[in-house]
Every structure is written in C-alpha cells, then in structure tokens.
Amino acid sequence: MVRVTLPDGSIKEFDAPPSGLDIATSISPGFARNCVAMELSGALKDMSTVLTQDASVRFYTTKDPQALEIMRHSAAHVMAQAVLELYPDAKLTIGPVVENGFYYDIDMGPVSEEDFPKIEAGMRKIIKTKHPFVRRDVSKEEALSFYSGEPYKREIISGLPSETVSLYTQGGFTDLCRGPHVPDTGFVKAVKLMRVSGAYWRGDSANQQLQRIYGTAFFDKKDLADYLNMLEEAKKRDHRKLGTLLDLYSFHDEAPGMAFFHAKGMELWNALLEYWRYEHRKAGYVETKTPVILTKELWIKSGHWENYRENMYTTVVDENEYAIKPMNCPGGMLLFGFRHHSYKDLPIRAGEIGLVHRHEMSGVLSGLFRVRAFHQDDAHIFMTPDQITPEILGVLNLIKRMYGTFGLGFHLELSTRPKKSIGSDAQWETATNGLKTALDRYGAEYKINEGDGAFYGPKIDAHIRDALGRTWQCGTVQLDMSLPERFDLGYIGADNLRHRPVMIHRVIYGSIERFLGILVEHFAGKFPLWLAPEQVVVMPMNDELAGYALEVDRIFADAGLRSSVDERAESIQKKVRDAQVRQVPLMVTIGNKEKEAGTLAVRTRDGEVRYGITLSRFLEETGAAIRERRLALDLFKG
C-alpha cells in the first residue's frame, strides 16, 4: 500500500503504486485534466511518474506560474521537432525557458521571421496530435550511441557528471532533457515565434554560430493576445524612441554603449538624484565620492582583477597599470579604513553616486538598459553583527518608500549560500538569519532562491513591476564577508578588542541610466510634475503679449519651476500640440483678458483647461504637488 499526503494534510491510500495522474484523478477527473506536473517530496516530476513508496505530493495546474515554465519548456521541444521536420540537416543544441518564453539554439542555415509561419504551422500540427511526453532513463553509453550523428548532444552528454541521462520522446521525436514536461503536446495551447538572432555555441565566439529562435507560449489564447498587445504598447513606450522625441539623450558611434544626456535629460537626471539625496539624508546616510581610476594592485586586493578582468578597462599612467573602476566597493573600503572606528561609530551608512565602466559585448548593448558606462547609487553600510536585522529592515523600508514615489510595485527574493563560497558556516548562518529576520519583520511575502547568493554573502533582490506588468531587477541588498576581510577592516568593540565589521552593499536605483530608461517606459514619457524635464510652457496669444509672458516665466523660474516661453510665430493650437507631443504637464496661455485680470488659462497635457487661475494659486498648487512628489496631475480642481 502507498500512502500519499496532499498539501492540505489529507492522506490517500493506493493498493498498487499510483502515477501522479492516478492520484490527481482520484481527487477529481476535471482537476486531473488541468494538472501539468507534480512536486514529489520537494522535486518536480512528470505526471506519469509512479510512486513506489509513501510520499508528499503537490500538483501544479495550468493556473500556476511553475506550470507555465514547464509548458514553455515543452513548447521548445515542439518547436525543435517542427524545425527538424522542415530542415532535416539541422543540429540541435539546447532549448531552455527564459523570461516570458523559450528559445532553442540550432546549427542550421540562416532563418528569418519570414520562415516563422511554416514553423508555427508544423508546431500546431504536432500540438494537435497530443503526443504524450514519454521519459526514458538510459546510460551515458546508450545516449551517446543514440546521438551518434549529433555532435552537440554528444558533447553535452559527455560533460554530465551522472552515469544516467534522461530522454523525452513525443511522437517520432526524442530530445535529451532532464524534464519535467507536460503530459502531452496538446497542453501547448497558444504559441508564437517571436524573433531570431545569432548565438555562439557555449557563448564562445571561437565556436560555431547558431540560429537562436525565440518563442512564447501560453495555456490560453487570450493570454497570448494580451501579451502581444503588451509588446505593442511597449514598442510605443520604447525609451530609445521617446528619448529622441523628448530630447532627453542620444547615442553616438564615437562612444558605443555610453549615453549622451541633453539639457532636458539632465533636468530629469537631477530630479532623480535630488530625490535620492533627500531620502538618504533622512535615512542617516552620508554621501562620499571616490576616484574613477585606481591602481591594478587595488583590484588584485579586492579580487576583481582575478574574477572580473575581462570586463575592465585598463590604462597605463607613469609606467604603472591602472583600471577604470567597474564597481565602487574597493574605494569605499579605503574610505572606511582611512581612520580608526569604535563600535559607537557604527552603523556607518555611506552612499555614492559612482561612475563605473564595464566592457559589454557590442551585440548586447541596448539603449540605457545595457551600457558600458553608468552610475550606480551604491551605499556601503558598516555595522556590528547585532545591527544586521535593523539595518536590512531600514534598507527595505527605504526601497518601499522610494519605489512607491514612482508608483512602482515590487517583490523580494532572498538568495542563499551557493556551493562555492567563502566564510565559515557560522558567518553564513548569522548573515542569512539576519536577512530572513528582517524580511519576516518587514512583513511582505518573499521568494527564496536556494544557492543563488553571491560567493561572498547572501542577498535580497528587489524586482520592480512597471505599468505594463514587466519586472526589472533593480534594488539589491548584499551582505559581504569578503571585502572587509581582504581590506582588513576593523573597529574597536565594547570589549576593547578589534573586531571585523559586517558590511552591506546596496543599491536602490541600481544603474541610474537603466532606472531612468525604465521610468521613461513606465510613464510613457508622461512624467509626474515633479519629475518632468519641462514642467510649464507659457504661450502668449500674440507678439504684444510676449514681454508679459516673459515676466510670468521669470516668476515661475524664481519659484523653482522648470519653465519656458514659446514665442514662435505659430498659432496657439500649434504650440499646444507641440507641447503635448513633448509631454509638458502644464501649458499656460496668456491673452489680453488674462493680462488685464492678472490670471492664467491653464491646460494640462491631457487636454483639461482651467480659466481664471491666479498667479498665487498656480504657484501654491504646483509647489505643493512638486514638494509632495505627487504622481497625479490633479490641480486647480474646484
């Protein structure tokens, strides 16, 4: 008899060893039809897996995020089968799941998006047959023999540590895979191929270039339609196009991967940094600044020369080798070590808007999202072990406050000790428990990524969610047990002995360039008043009113508003349309009536118009909206 424990604690008994499908069917046939895979004593398994002993089982249905990933992995196999049927000489490599879809790297002739309809037609045919995914575990020797004509599969198999490998067959197609998979190809309800690009085998440019075909898949056709609509909206919000339209920044061949910020872009940039400084002063941070170029010896000491050298730019000065910093951390270590510290000095919270350079391959550069030169809002917090939890909690509350100001939701993920790490078990336990305790006190749900921490310490990552529902990893909080050791940092404790400080690396914006690009797309260029590069445009109705318009503009500027006058010999309608294209929040029109009455006619970028607004009321309401950093442009009501 096999006893199966379900998530609600109930137990089901089976006289013969049941499969996952048998167990799900015993709960409800309708429930079983929607089951994609199961978790068997903590491991994901196919529904066809047979239980030969008592176990705890949890099922994943088409409503679960984990099920979507499993189905997309199965969709990659379906695509590979369809490609081989169309291109028999193609050689398969790997086909993993990625964010929002999957891809498969294939050694074959060039493929374009014009080829997608026939590949998709082949996929739909395979899906319609509802071929079961059948797993077979075989020895390495048998797998190598099976793939005698497949060099990439043989290379993968030869590099596996296990002497047994698993193969999955659907219809007449078999692929090397660890699984799990959906019960049959019919679970891939809605599929779409998205794009194709080149990729080198194993990511090495010395190897064969492959065709990387990307696709996405959903359990429901409506979900696919919604996703494609979101992508169309994202194209409209593309920060590269909006950056040009709004005159914020540009990119030039003379400095690949390095943004040029225009005057309006700098207004946006400075508004972001002004807010950053405001919140950090309130939170007890001091601001520091360290050099951009430091000696090779420093980077050897920090470990970057050994582990990050290929991404660093170097130079020679006075016959000595230097590196342009890819990270701010070593400079922060020198600042802390410059003077002696007592436990009474701690915690020390030191922030830096540091310019860093990292060499990225030209093929991955993408607007502000992937650059070679960028600024990080780094901060290093030095503390005693008993201060870990309150300091982490302080950072989490700061993250919540700052992201909330932009209307950005977020979720948290905790990554724990990887297999390769430094530090003692006791240090890791103290550090990880400190993060967990802070997260528990913070009170929000969080995901644990076992073994995904940095080699020098566990970390918390904040993933923001923008207006389109896309997620971006920006903020991070990392405990570091390496650099304080490497730089021999210390403080004198209450026992009058020297102790090693605990150190946190943390960023909130992350790369400021990238965060700015995210905001451009999040707001679609319609920035809230406090953030807008142009806050007000004054528009005189005729040339005779230009002088008065300039006086009004000076009053606005004296009040701290980012204001300008549109003196062009154009109609008011044309001036308004142009300002709306530039997403200026407020347009002030001045005619003879407004001049005589000392009032303003105010139009918002969304077309609402308010007449008879006094100058004092305009300054009072806009000033309050800016000080409070409101998201909504709800002014001059009533």
Neighbouring residues of 88: CB distance < 8 A, sequence distance ≥ 6: none
- The answer to whether residue 358 is catalytic is yes
Q: What is the mean pLDDT of residues 355-382?
A: 93
Say what the pTM is.
Answer: 0.82
Which runs of consecutive H residues, i.e. helices, occur in 147-247?
A: 151-158, 221-236, 239-245
Residues 410 and 553 in one domain: no
CA dihedral 544, 545, 546, 552 (to 10 degrees): 160
Same domain, residue pair 263 and 301: no
200: domain range?
66-224
Asked if residue 434 belongs to a domain, the reply is yes
**459 is an active site residue:** yes
Q: Are residues 178 and 125 in the same domain?
A: yes
**Do 205 and 141 share a structural domain?**
yes
pLDDT band at 286 (very low <50, low <70, confident <90, very high): very high
Please report the pLDDT score of residue 76 as a whole number: 97
Query: Among residues 46, 378, 466, 566, which one is catalytic?
Result: 378
Does residue 528 sit within a domain? no
Choosing from 73, 357, 380, 575, the catalytic residue is: 380
Task: Name the domain count of the chain.
Answer: 5
Catalytic residue among 264, 505, 506, 605: 505
| 238 within some domain | no
Rounded to whole angstroms, the Cα distance separating 556 from 566 reads 14
Residue 201 inside a domain? The answer is: yes
Active-site residue 376, yes or no? yes
Indicate the DSSP class of residue 516.
H
Per-residue confidence (pLDDT) for residue 205, from 0 to 100: 85
Catalytic residue among 131, 329, 375, 387: 329
Using CA atoms, how far residue 384 sits from 154, 203, 431, 499, in Å, is 52, 42, 11, 9
Find, among 585, 524, 575, 586, the residue nearest to 552 by Cα.
586
Last residue of a domain, one of 46, 61, 76: 61
Burial (CB count within 10 angstroms: exposed 0-12, middle 13-18, buried 19+), residue 355: middle
Residue 234, in any domain of the structure: no
What confidence score (pLDDT) does residue 50 get?
A: 93
pLDDT in the model for residue 426: 84
**Domain contains 380:** yes
Domain assignment of residue 235, yes or no: no
| DSSP letters spanning 543-582 | GGGHHHHHHHHHHHHHTT--EEE---SS-HHHHHHHHHHT
Q: Average pLDDT in the 278-283 region?
A: 97
Do the Cβ atoms of 71 and 187 come closer than 8 Å?
yes
Q: Is residue 306 domain-shared with residue 391, that is, in the same domain? A: no
Please tell me the predicted confidence (pLDDT) of residue 424.
82
The reply to whether 400 and 382 lie within a common domain is yes
User: 331 pLDDT exceeds 80?
Assistant: yes
Tens-digit pLDDT profile for residues 153-162:
999 999 998 8
Residues 6+ apart with CB under 8 A from 134: 48, 168, 169, 170
- What is the structure's pLDDT at 499? 96
Q: pLDDT at position 637, please?
A: 84
Is 252 noted as a catalytic residue in this protein?
no
Do residues 26 and 115 both lie within one domain?
Answer: no
Residue 281 lies in a domain: yes
Q: Please, which pLDDT band fits residue 123 given cuts at 50, 70 and 90?
A: very high
Catalytic residue of the set 72, 370, 459, 603: 459
From 303, 324, 345, the end of a domain falls on: 324
Examine the domain organization and report whether 300 and 415 are in the same domain: no
Q: What is the pLDDT of residue 430?
A: 85
Q: Is 505 a catalytic residue?
A: yes
In the prediction, which pLDDT does 145 show? 94
* 27 and 102, same domain (yes or no): no
Q: Percent of the chain having pLDDT more than 70?
A: 100
Whether 55 and 72 map to the same domain: the answer is no
- For tokens 């023999």, name the residue: 145
Domain boundary among the residues 487, 522, 557 is at 522
Mean pLDDT value of segment 62-75: 94
User: Is the pLDDT at 455 greater than 80, yes or no?
Assistant: no
pLDDT beyond 90 at 427? no
User: What's the CATH number where 551 sits?
Assistant: 3.40.50.800
Active-site annotation holds for 378: yes
Annotated active-site residue in 349, 358, 436, 522: 358
CATH code of the domain covering residue 13: 3.10.20.30
Q: Quick one: 314 and 435 in the same domain?
A: no
Closest of 476, 508, 465, 524 to residue 275, by C-alpha: 508
Mean pLDDT of the chain: 93
**Within this chain, do residues 312 and 438 fall inside the same structural domain, yes or no?**
no
Q: Give mean pLDDT, residues 393-409.
A: 96
CATH number of the domain that 91 lies in? 3.30.980.10
